[in-house]
Amino acid sequence: MPIRVLPPEVASRIAAGEVIERPASAVKELVENSLDAGAAEIRIDVREGGRRLIRVVDDGIGIPTTEASLAFERHATSKLTSSDDLEHIATLGFRGEALASIASVAQVTLLTRHADEAVGTQIRVDGGHLVSQEAKGAPPGTAIVVENLFYNVPARLKFLRQPATESSHIAATVRNFALAFPERRFSLTSDGRLVFRSTGSGRLEDVLVKVYGLEKARQMVAIEHGESSNAARVAGFVSLPSLSRSNRNQIDLFLNRRHIQDRALTFAVTEAYRNRLMVGRYPVAVVLIDMDPSLVDVNVHPAKAEVRFQDERGVFRAVQKAIVATLTEHAPAPEIRPDAVTWAVPAWAERRQALLAAGQGLQQQMDLTSPPAAPDWASLPQRDDSTHANEESPAAALAAVPAEQNGIAQRATSSESAPAADGNFEQQAADILPMLRVVGQMGATFIVAEGPEGMYLVDQHAAHERILFEQMMAQQAAHSVPQQAMLEPIVFEAGTVHGGLLAAFAEELTATGFGVEPFGSDTWLVRSVPAVYARVDPRRALEEVLEGIADGRDLVGDTREAALTAVICKRAAIKGGQVLSLEEMRQLVRQLEACQNPGSCPHGRPTMLVLSTAQLEREFGRRG
């Protein structure tokens, strides 16, 4: 095939794909232009998640009439004059690709008036082609309307998510700008509904209240001690250990007010919380890094979200040091005093007798001929997720939705009397779990059981996820999802982070057992929760589910209801690190045996591993 030069139209659409990945990317580029133009107020309006319409209006300096059409040319910019300027970029935009990229894959209308001119200019561009240009009255500033984004790029259009998902990405983009520029006023309207509005007061605390809600904002403290010898200053706000999340999604990093993604700096933030948060929990943080632009390269990718530091280790240390110092001052690590916590291990013979009397499963099988090197872990808290801090016991989670009440047949034969392997085992259905005899628990995470094929290691969290998922799906099919009603409605301050998700998933939340209703701006009333959350703080339960929706990776399944159910089950299931009694393990295994698909959790992780008797015999040299 001969080499050809691509037509300009094709080349423009390919290049646009690097800059404009989704509607939120277009919003980001347009708002950056507004900020660079000195706008004090920026209004964003979107419809159908931005694919139908994006409108950005600002009161910046505007574009002169003679330069308005030039703004749509590729690599046309007012922010750079020579290659030397790349060494110290001080503006958000600089590549001169944003408007050209957007205009090549959409229908764009630009209305602008420069502050020194009496009349404005209106330009229409369709798919990269100039349609019209005319003088028109307008206030100082710029208004850009983007319609039918990706209408001429079907390959990109078909990969866009649902409007609610795209709207959430746009909302996150606008919130990031508000956090970086608290002195500017931002407002976002989606399909006629006001989603976000900042005050423009210049106080980052006010933006935190708008983004996270008053209750969570009160649990965040200002980063202090941010001076560093490498010319980087660290400021912002971080959460106290009392406020945490199940993922890193709410750790926001800003470099010279530019929102960036940097795994090393995110790790620096989480490392600052070492020994302050439980495993699997992450802080909420808004980290603002200011440094000399010549010490960082922001021209790494067209999206401008990745950067390279001249002294990466120095910036890492500066961020970690500033956050550690802030936490030490506002939330010092608890001291372990001999008179407050007893770490002494009782006499070994007494401990052995206590363990045997308590029937701790696999612990009965341990070799107790020598004392342990660590404290008695069985006597210490084992939960690794604060969501379950209020549960009475692991048995409470197992018994929250009894299988016999939900149309899931139980096996008549006890799992303790599993038959030996024989020819009948091969005739069992491949997706049916054979009856197992529970032996004990390993690492407070895996249940050890014996079955026809050998030794089974059951992941207690994944297994309980599967059990709860099938129970809840059966309940939804029968329109009989058990709920725990609140004696008094609980006020839930969603903030703009979760407010949009609550509105978008209100119908699915109702189907899965949540009773919620709007109660003013970004505030909702919680009247009931699914029965599996009966012993959990309702606010925390709803918050965990919304985090799972925002994370996106939990949303697997054929329907939104199934996807949301999977999120609920993941957060309601017992966790690794929770010690179970022998009877609790037996009950969990019996319920797993009754599942239609016992081999995996709703997210596809295996619930168990099997080590066959034949393999064990080979490992021990009993068979050649």
Task: Flag whether pLDDT at 19 surpasses 80.
Answer: no
- Long-range contacts of range 308-312, CB-CB < 8 Å, 24 or more positions apart? 311/230, 312/264
Q: Which amino acid is at 306?
A: E
* Range in 165-179, 312-326, 357-371, 500-514 with the lowest mean pLDDT: 357-371
Of residues 496 and 610, the one with the higher pLDDT is 610
Closest CA relative to residue 471, chosen from 481, 462, 461, 463: 481
Is there a single domain that holds both residue 141 and residue 45? yes
Q: Tell me the DSSP string of 23-77.
A: HHHHHHHHHHHHHHTT-SEEEEEEEGGGTSEEEEEE-S----GGGTGGGGSTT--
Is residue 142 helix, strand or coil?
strand
Q: How many domains does the chain have?
A: 4
Q: Which pLDDT band holds residue 483 (cuts at 50, 70, 90)?
A: confident
Quick: pLDDT tens for 276-318.
Answer: 887 788 999 999 999 988 888 876 766 667 888 888 888 999 9
* Range in 40-44, 183-187, 461-465 with the lowest mean pLDDT: 461-465
User: Is 558 inside a domain boundary?
Assistant: yes
Say what the pLDDT of residue 116 is: 93
Tokens of 250: 């709410």
**Using CA atoms, how far apart are residues 484 and 492, in angstroms rounded to an integer?**
16
Task: Flag whether pLDDT at 257 surpasses 90.
Answer: yes
Is there a single domain that holds both residue 300 and residue 358? no
Is there a single domain that holds both residue 271 and residue 369? no
Tokens of 536: 């959990």
Q: Tell me the DSSP string of 508-576.
A: HHHHTT-EEEE-STTEEEEEEEEGGGTTS-HHHHHHHHHHHHHH-TT--SSSHHHHHHHHHHHHHS--T
User: Is 485 inside a domain boundary?
Assistant: yes
Range of the domain at 255: 219-330
CA angle 368, 370, 373 (to 5 degrees): 110
**Using CA atoms, how far apart are residues 528 and 346, in angstroms rounded to an integer?**
45
CATH code assigned at 263: 3.30.230.10
Tokens of 393: 């016991």
| Residue at a domain's end among 143, 178, 193 | 193
Tokens of 145: 């309307």
Quick: pLDDT tens for 411-457.
Answer: 333 333 333 333 333 333 334 567 889 999 998 899 999 988 888 99
Is there a single domain that holds both residue 168 and residue 101? yes
Say what the pLDDT of residue 16 is: 64
User: Is 336 inside a domain boundary?
Assistant: no
Closest CA relative to residue 587, chosen from 443, 394, 419: 394
Name 455's bridge partners: 450, 611
Q: Tell me the DSSP string of 267-290.
A: HHHHHHTTTTS-TT-B--EEEEEE
Q: Are residues 126 and 107 in contact, defined by beta-carbon separation less than 8 angstroms?
A: yes
Question: Which strands make up the sheet holding 185-190, listed edge to edge?
Answer: 129-136, 120-126, 107-113, 141-147, 53-58, 41-47, 185-190, 193-197
User: Is 2 inside a domain boundary?
Assistant: no
User: Is 445 inside a domain boundary?
Assistant: yes
Is there a single domain that holds both residue 370 and residue 302? no
* DSSP type of residue 148: S
Average pLDDT of the segment spanning 343-365: 39
CATH code assigned at 523: 3.30.1540.20
DSSP H helix total and E strand total for the chain:
18, 22
Of residues 384 and 36, the one with the higher pLDDT is 36
Is there a single domain that holds both residue 365 and residue 399? no
Say what the pLDDT of residue 322 is: 93
CATH code assigned at 176: 3.30.565.10
Say what the pLDDT of residue 348 is: 31
Quick: pLDDT tens for 260-281.
Answer: 999 999 999 999 998 788 778 8
Quick: pLDDT tens for 80-105.
Answer: 555 555 566 667 766 667 888 899 99
* Percent of the chain whose predicted confidence (pLDDT) is above 70: 74
Is there a single domain that holds both residue 396 and residue 482? yes
Question: Which strands make up the sheet holding 515-518, listed edge to edge?
Answer: 483-493, 523-530, 515-518
**Using CA atoms, how far apart are residues 497 and 310, in angstroms rounded to an integer?**
34
Rounded (10°) angle between helices 204-212 and 163-180: 160
């994370």: which residue's tokens?
A: 551
Is residue 115 helix, strand or coil?
coil
With 0-12 / 13-18 / 19 or more C-beta atoms within 10 angstroms meaning exposed / middle / buried, residue 503 is: middle
Say what the pLDDT of residue 330 is: 87
Q: For the chain, what's the residue count?
A: 624
Of residues 185 and 624, the one with the higher pLDDT is 185
Task: Flag whether pLDDT at 362 surpasses 70.
Answer: no
Average pLDDT of the segment spanning 234-249: 91
Task: Flag whether pLDDT at 378 surpasses 90.
Answer: no
Is residue 231 helix, strand or coil?
coil
Is there a single domain that holds both residue 433 and residue 582? yes
User: Is 423 inside a domain boundary?
Assistant: yes
């016991």: which residue's tokens?
A: 393
Is there a single domain that holds both residue 347 and residue 477? no
User: Is 326 inside a domain boundary?
Assistant: yes
Is there a single domain that holds both residue 319 and residue 391? no
Of residues 502 and 168, the one with the higher pLDDT is 168
Say what the pLDDT of residue 613 is: 85
Q: Which pLDDT band holds residue 14 (cuts at 50, 70, 90)?
A: low
Average pLDDT of the segment spanning 209-236: 84
Say what the pLDDT of residue 551 is: 67
| Residue at a domain's end among 193, 209, 239 | 193
- pTM beyond 0.85, yes or no: no
Say what the pLDDT of residue 15 is: 64
- Torsion of the alpha carbons at 382, 384, 385 and 389, rounded to the nearest 10: 20
Task: Flag whether pLDDT at 459 surpasses 60.
Answer: yes
User: Is 198 inside a domain boundary?
Assistant: no
Is there a single domain that holds both residue 358 and residue 391? no
Q: What are the C-alpha distances in Å from 177 to residues 93, 196, 309?
A: 14, 12, 22
Q: Are residues 323 and 238 in contact, defined by beta-carbon separation less than 8 angstroms?
A: yes
Is there a single domain that holds both residue 512 and residue 617? yes
Of residues 571 and 527, the one with the higher pLDDT is 527
Quick: pLDDT tens for 546-598.
Answer: 877 776 544 444 466 777 788 788 878 888 888 999 999 999 998 988 888 88
